């Protein structure tokens, strides 16, 4: 494989940055105020591009708001969810998750998928429930849980290694990867422009903008082909959010210069902008938002990587390892929150687009994801976090079908394709039994078809159809509603 794994450091880089007086004061404040406030769970929802983050949040909120019954979500199945409402979010400096626009698009006459996550957003869903605990039931007043859903691009977590690399070392890694055979065709325009550059030449902002755009085009091509996922850095080049057009996003990796280095040349200026990006973009994100999460779901398009080939699977595993280095897993107690800050005590890894496979392959899909993320998941369990792996489709867009061809019967899926008047059947192929086999490649490539949301979703008596959403909710929320 030509995949180059990034240099990874321990998550202690972030732990040190969150430790000390600030974390202690935050823990003291939380412990003093928590007995007098409504319980709140901050749930982080992340995943790399096209993993289904927006659809997951939209389906979760809609099904709870409309009191749909989830058979495997105990509070729902037992009729203990009495009501749910959307309330103003606690962080007024964050954009609000566009739930209403998303659900309108899904339930319209010509249903469409919501736009992908491109920036940080938040939504507060407050759930009223009947507890099973005798102690809780004896307490007066309604029993409420504030569920703060924090949606953020997984690409931003890929910036974690930048905190331990200077500009020259990072540039060396990216340039070496760009010259690998699988990536070089996409990097050629950017590399050719770099070859004509005078690293000590006079400042011309147009040159910075042009090279940054060529580098961004290269990153986009790699993402489209599932190549070099772990090195899609800086993450804001692909998901700029509110920073689009900022000088902090106008640089690119550059070869080490030879001879004397001008203090105003291209290499020196890119170094300054790279360090500014780490200081003003990367560190504040981890400090102000990421470190305050209680639980986390990581959505992964393993099927897309499998269809793209062995190199893409290797890259996805490297990216997952990089992403999970950012988390601070561990069991939470009032004492641990007081002295070491909040930890993520439950982590759910979900392989999305389970509706692209027959039901018989869903357990295999979850098992392969468990193998893919075994090392970081094992580390999280060692630190006291509860970890689970599932196959998931937050909105099921297909139906199962049996197709007979040349005397054989195949398990297929049927779904709606954009522009077609009737659903079409596809044979998705078979997932292998192990990750080792998946990395060797599959004989029958999985059908990578973009199914549209099925029509008349608002007529579904059981809410938005899904695979595994209720199991996900039981793992993430069940203990807090008991």
Residues 93 and 190 placed together within one structural domain of the fold: no
Residue 187 lies in a domain: yes
Q: Exposed/middle/buried for 477, CB within 10 Å: 0-12, 13-18, 19+?
A: buried
Range of the domain at 373: 12-152+289-397+459-481
Give the chain's domain count: 2
> Digits of tens for pLDDT over the chain (482 positions)?
443 333 333 344 444 444 444 544 454 444 444 444 689 999 999 988 788 999 999 999 999 999 887 999 999 999 999 999 999 999 998 999 999 999 999 998 889 999 887 788 999 999 999 998 877 777 877 899 999 999 988 888 888 889 889 999 999 999 999 998 888 999 999 999 999 988 877 788 999 999 999 999 999 999 888 788 878 899 899 888 778 778 889 999 999 887 777 777 888 899 999 999 999 999 988 888 888 899 999 999 999 888 888 888 998 898 888 888 778 776 654 434 433 457 899 999 999 999 999 999 999 999 999 999 998 889 888 988 999 999 999 999 999 998 888 888 888 999 998 778 889 888 888 899 999 999 998 876 676 788 999 888 877 667 899 999 999 999 999 999 98
Sheet with 386-391, side-by-side order of all strands? 81-87, 121-129, 143-151, 40-47, 295-300, 346-351, 386-391
Q: Of the candidates 453, 415, 395, 456, which has an alpha carbon nearest to the alpha carbon of residue 63?
A: 395
The reply to whether 90 falls in a domain is: yes
Tell me whether residue 405 is in a domain: no
In this structure, the answer to whether residues 173 and 256 fall within a common structural domain is: yes
Residue at 423 is within a domain: no
* Domain assignment of residue 407, yes or no: no
DSSP tag of 344? B
Q: Establish if 440 belongs to a structural domain.
A: no
**For strand 40-47 and strand 295-300, is the pairing parallel, antiparallel, or unpaired?**
parallel
Q: Which of 248, 282, 316 is the last residue of a domain?
A: 282
pTM of this structure = 0.85
Same domain, 265 and 293: no
297, 277: one domain: no
Q: Is the same domain home to 142 and 207?
A: no
Please indicate, yes or no, whether residues 146 and 167 belong to a single structural domain of this protein.
no
Identify whether residues 97 and 66 lie together within a single domain.
Answer: yes
Alpha-carbon gap, residue 325 to 299, rounded angstroms:
16
Burial 173-201 (b: 16+ CB within 10 A, else e): bbbebbebebbeebbeebbebbeeeebbe
User: Token pair for residue 1?
Assistant: 């494989």
Query: Which residue's entry shows tokens 């566009």?
Result: 98
* 441 occurs within a structural domain: no
Residues 233 and 300 in one domain: no
* Residue that is last in its domain, among 257, 282, 307: 282
* Helix, strand, coil share (%) of the chain residues, nearest 5: 45, 15, 35
Beta-carbon contacts of 177 under 8 Å, excluding residues fewer than 6 positions away, are: 4, 183, 228, 231
387 lies in some domain? yes
d(CA 314, CA 257): 32
Task: Select from 238, 267, 282 the last residue of a domain.
Answer: 282
Per-residue confidence (pLDDT) for residue 414, from 0 to 100: 93
Residues 278 and 192 in one domain: yes
Q: Do both 293 and 274 map to the same domain?
A: no
The CATH number linked to 367 is 3.40.50.300
- Per DSSP, which regions of 229-270 are E strands? none
pLDDT reported for residue 45:
95
441 Cβ neighbours under 8 A, 6+ residues apart? 309, 310
Tell me: do 41 and 137 sit in the same domain.
Answer: yes
Please tell me whether residues 48 and 127 are part of one structural domain. Answer: yes
């Amino acid at each position: 494989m030509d995949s180059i794994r990034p240099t990874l450091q321990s998550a202690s880089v972030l732990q040190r940055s969150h430790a000390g007086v600030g974390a202690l004061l935050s823990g003291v404040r939380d412990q003093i105020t928590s007995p007098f406030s409504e319980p709140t769970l901050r749930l982080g929802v992340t995943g790399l591009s096209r993993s289904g983050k927006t659809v997951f949040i939209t389906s979760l909120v809609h099904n709870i708001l409309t009191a749909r019954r989830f058979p495997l979500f105990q509070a729902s199945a037992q009729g203990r969810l009495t009501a749910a409402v959307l309330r103003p979010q606690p962080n007024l400096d964050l954009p609000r998750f566009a739930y209403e626009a998303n659900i309108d698009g899904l339930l319209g006459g010509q249903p469409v998928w919501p736009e992908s996550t491109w920036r940080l957003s938040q939504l507060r869903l407050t759930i009223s429930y009947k507890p099973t605990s005798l102690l809780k039931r004896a307490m007066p007043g309604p029993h409420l849980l504030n569920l703060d859903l924090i949606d953020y691009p997984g690409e931003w977590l890929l910036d974690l290694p930048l905190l331990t690399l200077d500009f020259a070392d990072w540039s060396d890694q990216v340039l070496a990867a760009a010259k690998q055979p699988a990536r070089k065709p996409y990097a050629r325009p950017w590399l050719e422009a770099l070859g004509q550059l005078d690293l000590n030449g006079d400042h011309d902002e147009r040159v910075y903008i042009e090279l940054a755009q060529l580098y961004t085009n290269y990153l986009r091509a790699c993402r489209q082909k599932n190549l070099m996922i772990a090195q899609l850095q800086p993450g804001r080049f692909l998901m700029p959010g509110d920073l689009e057009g900022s000088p902090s996003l106008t640089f690119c990796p550059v070869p080490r210069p030879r001879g004397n280095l001008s203090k105003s040349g291209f290499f020196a200026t890119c170094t300054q902008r790279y360090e500014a990006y780490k200081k003003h973009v990367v560190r504040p994100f981890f400090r102000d938002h990421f470190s305050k999460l209680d639980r986390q779901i990581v959505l992964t398009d393993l099927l897309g990587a499998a269809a793209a080939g062995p190199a893409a699977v290797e890259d996805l595993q490297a990216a997952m390892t990089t992403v999970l280095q950012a988390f601070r897993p561990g069991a939470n107690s009032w004492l641990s929150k007081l002295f070491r800050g909040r930890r993520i005590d439950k982590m759910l890894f979900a392989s999305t687009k389970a509706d692209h496979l027959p039901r018989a392959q869903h357990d295999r899909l979850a098992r392969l994801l468990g193998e893919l993320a075994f090392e970081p998941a094992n580390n999280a369990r060692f630190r006291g976090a509860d970890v689970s792996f599932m196959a998931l489709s937050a909105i099921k867009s297909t139906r199962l079908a049996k197709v007979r061809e040349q005397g054989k019967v195949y398990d297929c899926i049927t779904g709606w394709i954009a522009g077609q008047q009737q659903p079409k059947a596809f044979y998705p192929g078979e997932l292998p039994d192990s990750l080792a086999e998946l990395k060797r490649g599959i004989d029958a490539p999985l059908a990578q078809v973009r199914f549209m949301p099925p029509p008349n979703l608002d007529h579904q008596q059981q809410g938005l159809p899904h695979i595994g959403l209720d199991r996900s909710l039981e793992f993430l929320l069940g203990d807090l509603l008991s």
